[in-house]
Protein backbone atom coordinates (compact mmCIF):
# COMPACT_ATOMS: atom_id res chain seq x y z
CA UNK A 1 0.00 0.00 0.00
CA UNK A 2 2.79 2.38 0.95
CA UNK A 3 4.51 1.68 -2.37
CA UNK A 4 1.27 2.38 -4.27
CA UNK A 5 0.76 5.72 -2.54
CA UNK A 6 4.34 6.71 -3.36
CA UNK A 7 3.77 5.86 -7.02
CA UNK A 8 0.61 7.99 -7.13
CA UNK A 9 2.49 10.94 -5.54
CA UNK A 10 5.32 10.69 -8.08
CA UNK A 11 2.78 10.54 -10.91
CA UNK A 12 1.01 13.70 -9.70
CA UNK A 13 4.32 15.59 -9.40
CA UNK A 14 5.33 14.45 -12.87
CA UNK A 15 2.08 15.66 -14.40
CA UNK A 16 1.81 19.03 -12.70
CA UNK A 17 5.34 19.89 -11.54
CA UNK A 18 6.30 22.94 -9.51
CA UNK A 19 5.79 26.37 -11.07
CA UNK A 20 9.11 27.97 -11.97
CA UNK A 21 9.39 31.58 -13.10
CA UNK A 22 13.13 31.76 -13.67
CA UNK A 23 14.77 35.09 -14.65
CA UNK A 24 16.66 35.75 -17.89
CA UNK A 25 20.32 34.83 -18.20
CA UNK A 26 23.47 36.36 -19.69
CA UNK A 27 22.11 39.91 -19.92
CA UNK A 28 24.41 42.23 -21.90
CA UNK A 29 24.06 45.95 -22.72
CA UNK A 30 26.21 47.38 -25.54
CA UNK A 31 26.38 51.11 -26.35
CA UNK A 32 28.55 53.36 -28.54
CA UNK A 33 28.44 56.45 -30.73
CA UNK A 34 29.32 56.46 -34.43
CA UNK A 35 29.35 59.45 -36.73
CA UNK A 36 27.07 60.20 -38.56
CA UNK A 37 24.58 57.64 -37.23
CA UNK A 38 24.54 58.71 -33.59
CA UNK A 39 23.92 56.37 -30.67
CA UNK A 40 24.16 52.65 -31.47
CA UNK A 41 23.08 50.21 -28.79
CA UNK A 42 21.66 46.79 -28.10
CA UNK A 43 20.35 44.66 -25.24
CA UNK A 44 20.86 40.90 -25.47
CA UNK A 45 19.87 38.04 -23.17
CA UNK A 46 19.37 34.27 -23.03
CA UNK A 47 16.20 32.33 -22.26
CA UNK A 48 15.70 31.49 -18.55
CA UNK A 49 17.19 28.31 -17.17
CA UNK A 50 15.06 25.21 -17.72
CA UNK A 51 12.84 23.72 -16.48
CA UNK A 52 10.45 26.67 -16.30
CA UNK A 53 6.78 27.44 -16.84
CA UNK A 54 5.37 28.30 -20.28
CA UNK A 55 7.29 31.38 -21.43
CA UNK A 56 5.35 34.16 -23.18
CA UNK A 57 8.08 36.79 -23.63
CA UNK A 58 9.86 39.57 -21.78
CA UNK A 59 8.94 42.91 -20.19
CA UNK A 60 11.51 45.72 -20.36
CA UNK A 61 11.46 48.68 -17.96
CA UNK A 62 13.25 52.04 -17.73
CA UNK A 63 13.69 52.67 -14.01
CA UNK A 64 10.29 51.41 -12.81
CA UNK A 65 8.34 52.50 -15.91
CA UNK A 66 7.23 49.86 -18.42
CA UNK A 67 8.80 50.29 -21.86
CA UNK A 68 7.78 47.37 -24.08
CA UNK A 69 6.98 43.65 -24.28
CA UNK A 70 9.25 41.52 -26.49
CA UNK A 71 9.01 37.95 -27.72
CA UNK A 72 12.59 37.93 -29.05
CA UNK A 73 15.84 37.83 -27.05
CA UNK A 74 17.24 41.23 -28.05
CA UNK A 75 16.45 44.75 -29.22
CA UNK A 76 18.43 47.83 -30.09
CA UNK A 77 19.15 50.79 -32.34
CA UNK A 78 21.43 50.69 -35.38
CA UNK A 79 20.43 53.12 -38.17
CA UNK A 80 23.28 51.74 -40.30
CA UNK A 81 21.27 48.55 -40.74
CA UNK A 82 17.79 50.06 -40.63
CA UNK A 83 17.10 49.04 -37.03
CA UNK A 84 15.37 52.19 -35.76
CA UNK A 85 12.16 50.98 -34.08
CA UNK A 86 13.66 51.14 -30.59
CA UNK A 87 15.96 54.15 -31.05
CA UNK A 88 13.75 56.06 -28.58
CA UNK A 89 14.73 53.74 -25.72
CA UNK A 90 17.71 55.85 -24.71
CA UNK A 91 15.83 59.18 -24.83
CA UNK A 92 14.26 58.41 -21.43
CA UNK A 93 15.23 60.80 -18.63
CA UNK A 94 16.19 63.48 -21.16
CA UNK A 95 19.01 61.35 -22.48
CA UNK A 96 20.50 61.02 -19.00
CA UNK A 97 21.50 57.83 -17.16
CA UNK A 98 18.94 55.37 -15.84
CA UNK A 99 18.59 51.76 -14.69
CA UNK A 100 16.91 49.29 -17.02
CA UNK A 101 15.25 46.04 -16.02
CA UNK A 102 14.05 42.95 -17.86
CA UNK A 103 11.69 40.28 -16.54
CA UNK A 104 10.61 37.02 -18.14
CA UNK A 105 6.82 36.75 -18.49
CA UNK A 106 5.15 33.38 -18.03
CA UNK A 107 1.67 31.98 -18.62
CA UNK A 108 -0.86 33.85 -16.50
CA UNK A 109 1.26 37.04 -16.85
CA UNK A 110 3.51 35.90 -14.02
CA UNK A 111 6.78 37.88 -14.00
CA UNK A 112 10.14 36.53 -12.93
CA UNK A 113 12.51 38.53 -10.76
CA UNK A 114 13.84 41.51 -12.69
CA UNK A 115 17.45 41.59 -13.87
CA UNK A 116 18.98 45.08 -14.03
CA UNK A 117 21.41 46.84 -16.37
CA UNK A 118 22.82 50.38 -16.29
CA UNK A 119 22.38 52.86 -19.15
CA UNK A 120 24.91 55.68 -18.91
CA UNK A 121 22.87 58.12 -21.01
CA UNK A 122 23.34 59.22 -24.60
CA UNK A 123 26.91 58.63 -25.76
CA UNK A 124 28.84 61.29 -27.62
CA UNK A 125 31.86 61.12 -29.90
CA UNK A 126 33.64 64.28 -28.79
CA UNK A 127 36.87 65.60 -30.27
CA UNK A 128 38.25 67.29 -27.14
CA UNK A 129 40.93 69.23 -29.04
CA UNK A 130 38.30 70.79 -31.25
CA UNK A 131 36.06 71.61 -28.30
CA UNK A 132 38.79 73.76 -26.77
CA UNK A 133 38.64 75.98 -29.86
CA UNK A 134 35.00 75.68 -30.92
CA UNK A 135 32.01 76.52 -28.77
CA UNK A 136 28.23 76.67 -29.16
CA UNK A 137 26.17 79.25 -27.30
CA UNK A 138 23.89 79.98 -25.60
CA UNK A 139 23.23 76.63 -23.98
CA UNK A 140 20.33 76.24 -23.16
CA UNK A 141 19.08 78.01 -26.29
CA UNK A 142 15.60 79.14 -27.28
CA UNK A 143 15.59 80.45 -30.88
CA UNK A 144 19.13 80.60 -32.27
CA UNK A 145 22.24 78.53 -31.60
CA UNK A 146 25.51 80.37 -32.30
CA UNK A 147 28.95 78.98 -33.14
CA UNK A 148 32.34 80.47 -32.39
CA UNK A 149 33.56 79.28 -35.80
CA UNK A 150 31.84 78.96 -39.18
CA UNK A 151 30.53 75.46 -39.88
CA UNK A 152 30.19 74.04 -43.40
CA UNK A 153 28.10 71.01 -42.39
CA UNK A 154 25.54 70.85 -39.57
CA UNK A 155 23.22 68.11 -38.33
CA UNK A 156 20.95 68.34 -35.29
CA UNK A 157 19.29 65.20 -33.94
CA UNK A 158 17.66 64.06 -30.72
CA UNK A 159 19.48 61.68 -28.39
CA UNK A 160 17.92 58.66 -30.14
CA UNK A 161 19.55 59.71 -33.43
CA UNK A 162 16.44 61.06 -35.21
CA UNK A 163 17.52 63.88 -37.55
CA UNK A 164 15.66 67.21 -37.27
CA UNK A 165 17.89 69.82 -38.94
CA UNK A 166 20.52 69.48 -41.64
CA UNK A 167 22.48 72.21 -43.43
CA UNK A 168 25.36 72.07 -45.87
CA UNK A 169 25.91 75.82 -46.28
CA UNK A 170 28.46 77.81 -44.24
CA UNK A 171 26.87 79.25 -41.10
CA UNK A 172 27.87 80.74 -37.74
CA UNK A 173 24.35 80.37 -36.32
CA UNK A 174 21.28 78.22 -36.90
CA UNK A 175 17.60 78.73 -36.16
CA UNK A 176 16.25 76.13 -33.72
CA UNK A 177 12.96 77.85 -32.83
CA UNK A 178 10.85 75.07 -34.39
CA UNK A 179 12.40 72.36 -32.23
CA UNK A 180 10.38 71.16 -29.26
CA UNK A 181 11.89 71.46 -25.78
CA UNK A 182 14.44 68.80 -24.94
CA UNK A 183 18.02 67.60 -25.28
CA UNK A 184 19.61 67.51 -28.74
CA UNK A 185 22.96 66.61 -30.28
CA UNK A 186 24.68 68.86 -32.79
CA UNK A 187 27.19 67.24 -35.14
CA UNK A 188 29.12 69.67 -37.29
CA UNK A 189 32.28 70.15 -39.33
CA UNK A 190 34.02 73.51 -39.47
CA UNK A 191 35.57 75.01 -42.61
CA UNK A 192 38.97 74.24 -41.11
CA UNK A 193 38.04 70.56 -40.77
CA UNK A 194 37.38 70.42 -37.04
CA UNK A 195 34.56 68.12 -35.90
CA UNK A 196 32.24 68.80 -32.99
CA UNK A 197 29.59 66.53 -31.47
CA UNK A 198 27.94 68.07 -28.44
CA UNK A 199 24.69 68.19 -26.51
CA UNK A 200 22.58 71.29 -26.09
CA UNK A 201 19.24 72.00 -24.46
CA UNK A 202 16.35 73.59 -26.37
CA UNK A 203 14.20 75.69 -24.05
- Considering 8-12, 175-179, 182-186, the range whose residues carry the highest mean pLDDT is 175-179
How much is the pLDDT for 39? 83
Tell me what the pLDDT averaged over the chain comes to: 82
Give the tens place of pLDDT for each residue, 64-77: 999 999 999 999 99
Is residue 26 a contact partner of residue 116, using CB atoms and an 8 Å limit? no
The whole-number pLDDT of residue 62 equals 96
Q: Characterise 7 by phi-psi region: left (phi > 0), alpha (psi -120 to 50), beta (else).
A: alpha
Model pLDDT for residues 110-155, shown as the tens digit of each residue:
999 999 999 887 766 544 334 445 678 898 899 999 988 888 788 8
Q: All domains of the chain, ordered by start, with CATH?
A: 21-119 (2.60.40.10), 128-202 (2.60.40.3080)
Confidence check: pLDDT of 48 > 80: yes
Window from 80-94, 111-125, 186-200 with minimum mean pLDDT:
186-200
Amino acid sequence: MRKSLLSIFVCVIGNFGFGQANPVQNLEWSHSYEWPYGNLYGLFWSEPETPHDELLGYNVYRNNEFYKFFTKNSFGCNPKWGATEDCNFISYNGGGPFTGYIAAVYKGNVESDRVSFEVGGAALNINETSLTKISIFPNPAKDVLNFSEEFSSIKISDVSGKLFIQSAKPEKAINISKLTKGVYVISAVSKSGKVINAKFVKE
